[in-house]
Amino acid sequence: MNKPETPNALFQRRLNVLSPSYYHHYDDPLTAVRAKGVTIWDDTGKAYLECYNNVPSVGHCHPNVVGALTHQASQINAHSRYLHDNIVTYAERVIATLPDEIDTCVFVCSGTEANALAYDIARTVTGNRGVIVSDGAYHGNALAVADFSDYQLQAPSTPNFVRSIPLPCAKLTGPEASAAATPAIEGLAQSEHGLAMAMIDSIFDGPGIYTAAPGYLPQLADTVRGQGGLMVMDEVQSGLTRLGDNMWGFMDSGIVPDIVTMGKPMGAGYPLAIVAAKRSIFEAFAETRSYFNTFGGTPVAGAVGNAVLDVVQEETILESVGRVGRELTFGLNTLKDQFGFVGEVRGKGVFQGMEIVTDQQSHHPDRTKAKAIVNDMRRAGVLISACGMHGNVLKVRPPLVFSESNADQLLTTLAEVMDHHH
Amino acid sequence: MNKPETPNALFQRRLNVLSPSYYHHYDDPLTAVRAKGVTIWDDTGKAYLECYNNVPSVGHCHPNVVGALTHQASQINAHSRYLHDNIVTYAERVIATLPDEIDTCVFVCSGTEANALAYDIARTVTGNRGVIVSDGAYHGNALAVADFSDYQLQAPSTPNFVRSIPLPCAKLTGPEASAAATPAIEGLAQSEHGLAMAMIDSIFDGPGIYTAAPGYLPQLADTVRGQGGLMVMDEVQSGLTRLGDNMWGFMDSGIVPDIVTMGKPMGAGYPLAIVAAKRSIFEAFAETRSYFNTFGGTPVAGAVGNAVLDVVQEETILESVGRVGRELTFGLNTLKDQFGFVGEVRGKGVFQGMEIVTDQQSHHPDRTKAKAIVNDMRRAGVLISACGMHGNVLKVRPPLVFSESNADQLLTTLAEVMDHHH
């Protein structure tokens, strides 16, 4: 299957059979043929340090995960209408990492499916339709979810049952940002739609990697609940230790959500996502609605999920993420001091962003330079990306097993590349 | 992970951590611990003939599929923003099985995601919102799709942009049924919603396994297109040779859809689903919308999809399904002649239904007896299910590799069980 082929030939074949909605990273697309831990090799044998992908959470092709996948796939992979220990054990283990009140699970295949189900539940349980999201939020690609993903600016106009609220940022503290959200929440609750839920991230990727600053989430949750809505935390990006202080990002703020959605990193590449909630919420949903997901909660999904949790525990990944995250924060801020075209450095744990601007006075976003740095980094053997409203925020979001020496290599290469753009 | 445990203990643990929306097959839930081909073993070592599951299309745990999964999962499983041969080759192979006009793919994880994307495309491309489905149709579990899944009778009222149309049945020929659909299609097209699409199955599972009788689909497609809508064929159930005459069910009618969705059997248990369409449709969609699916079209999904297609070709499954399907149709009709409580026998290929009624004169549905037969069959070591508006249609939908001797065993056991209910 992986016969050498000129990248252009493969790229042309791809253009012929895949939708034009597909796109690729880098000016010169990367043909990725092998990966292990935090290294990806292309079709010429060149190795890259992986600083971008969150899905291979415990590292690409972790032998314990591949082993669990292989073993279970060779035993049985039926759906959840038969009993099987794997998914029950996995549910028990996931729940044990969450606040006591969040005691029940449903399994699905993707973060999109998890967020779509969370909304379906919120709509059914509250009888309301309105959704609060944060500015620039992305919660999935399916129709119902895309409707309330504020990020897709090119999409048809946002439906009027969705309102977006400001994020905490340099100019707005957590309490200020949540106070600024109150009019939108109250307005939606009092509209014909009513308030079904707020769906909020613990780290705000789409708009450019902002964190939920202290004081933001608790007050927001109070306001949302005071207006009859559910507080849904989307942990698809921030979950499974990524922010370095806790297993789940919302725990940094001490709140207890009504619903938590989990996705990408949970299966380390296997399509595995979860909706966890208070039992009373699922009970209210089940009164009027059935839900079945063919591929959600299979024995293979459970085996993979359990293997990933094993690795997270055995390799003490939470501690490692905290340590490496502090090194990244320090190193990126050092680069900010060195280079006049760096704006803010933001993020937490192994989810970091560095704004590229024309200069630190005007703070004008420099998308062109950010893109050039991303492509030069790729040439130098380090894979990062850019994100944000203006596409000017360098995004560093490696597998959770990213080590201090990996961070050194990233920072050293970044310094060299940035020096060329000085 | 599979330590023996009393079924009740596992069941109780499951009740404690999974949502009450989960349900299980059979009065006495089956703990399924191993499977191979068309055999499932429970936790006591008892073997069952598998006559129900369509997901393990080429048989449970086919060694070539497990081998491909294992090999690719140990090499790399990145997303589709890097180039990889597997998914391109797989797209080329899928397209080669479809009419020439259907030349472009997008990969997703589940039939639900495929149908949600198809609707998103139809809505974007036509600028309309209205959806035509057939009576009792099920097209997925996500909010947007559940909205137009007519089957979920307990759900909140169907939104008024969805209209359902009659199926061909004993009392309505194909042309009569499609003619009867015209007023609903025209009415929706002329409403404020306009007509985005008709989403139609090639075999109608939910309402009780009806087939698209000759003359139904061509005239329906003409009417839908004449009113500005797209014709979307949902091949999640009927696809990949299941109906025995063609690779895809719609081919039995000779129509060329605008969009085709494929799901369950494609990955033989791995979450793999596809939206295929005419390139012009994807081009129009891509003009205003982006779409990315993290787990759709990964190298592992491609490897598994290719392995499944290999097995379908190497084991000449289409021919086998045709042959076994004819035996099933004959055998089930023989039982109908023997037992006065059998109504119609319907279906095609390895997708067969047998109505259980109080008597052949009144034709009154007998859900209780159907359920008793399903549970007795399970005790006798054969797994089937019941479906339909009244839950009284025995459903036989085994893996595609179901053989003539498997069919013999099913029919013999069914005759014995039915004799007890005489």
- Per-residue tokens: A318: 């939470």
Q: Is A339 on the interface with B (CB under 8 A)?
A: no
* Per-residue model confidence (pLDDT) at position B27: 86
Question: Domains in chain A, ordered, with CATH?
Answer: 7-58+316-420 (3.90.1150.10), 63-314 (3.40.640.10)
| Average pLDDT of chain B to the nearest whole number | 93
Burial of A12 (0-12, 13-18, 19+ CB in 10 A): exposed
Question: Is A283 close to B20, i.e. CB distance below 8 A?
Answer: yes
Tally of CB atoms within 10 A around A9: 9
What ipTM was reported for this prediction? Answer: 0.94
What is the rounded (10 degree) CA torsion for A50, A51, A52, A58? 70
Q: How far is CA A112 from CA A115, A182, B110, B295, in A?
A: 5, 27, 11, 11
Q: Quick one: DSSP state of residue A33?
A: E
pLDDT(A293) > 80: yes
Phi–psi pair at B2, nearest 5 degrees: -105, 40
Cα B291 to its chain centre, rounded Å, is 25
Tally of CB atoms within 10 A around B23: 12
Which residue of A lies nearest to B62 if distances are taken between CA atoms?
A74
Task: Tell which of A28, A53, A57, A82 to mutate to test the B interface (max B CBs under 10 Å).
Answer: A82
Q: Whole-angstrom Cα distance, residue A226 to residue A166? A: 19
Range from A48-52, A137-141, A192-196 carrying the lowest mean pLDDT: A137-141
- Asked if A298 and A79 count as a contact pair (C-beta separation under 8 A), the reply is yes
Question: Is A83 close to B11, i.e. CB distance below 8 A?
Answer: yes
Interface of A with B in 370-399 (CB under 8 A): none
pLDDT(A169) > 70: yes
Q: Whole-angstrom Cα distance, residue A77 to residue A62? A: 21
Cα A317 to its chain centre, rounded Å, is 17
- Per-residue tokens: B57: 């299309």
Three-class SS state of A59: coil
Q: Which of A291, A266, A293 is nearest to A281 (CA)?
A: A291
Question: Is B143 close to A146, i.e. CB distance below 8 A?
Answer: no
Mean pLDDT across B306-320:
98
- Asked if A251 and A209 count as a contact pair (C-beta separation under 8 A), the reply is no
Burial of A254 (0-12, 13-18, 19+ CB in 10 A): exposed
Question: Is B30 close to A73, i.e. CB distance below 8 A?
Answer: no
pLDDT(B157) > 60: no
Which residues neighbour A284 within 8 Å (Cβ) at sequence distance 6 or greater? A124, A125
Mean pLDDT across A181-194:
96
Each residue's pLDDT tens digit, A111-150 = 999 999 999 999 999 999 999 999 888 887 776 666 665 5
pLDDT(A217) > 50: yes
* Per-residue model confidence (pLDDT) at position B356: 98
Each residue's pLDDT tens digit, B352-404 = 999 999 999 999 999 999 999 999 999 999 999 999 999 999 999 999 999 99
Tally of CB atoms within 10 A around A346: 22
Q: Quick one: DSSP state of residue B35?
A: E
Question: Is A70 close to B75, i.e. CB distance below 8 A?
Answer: no
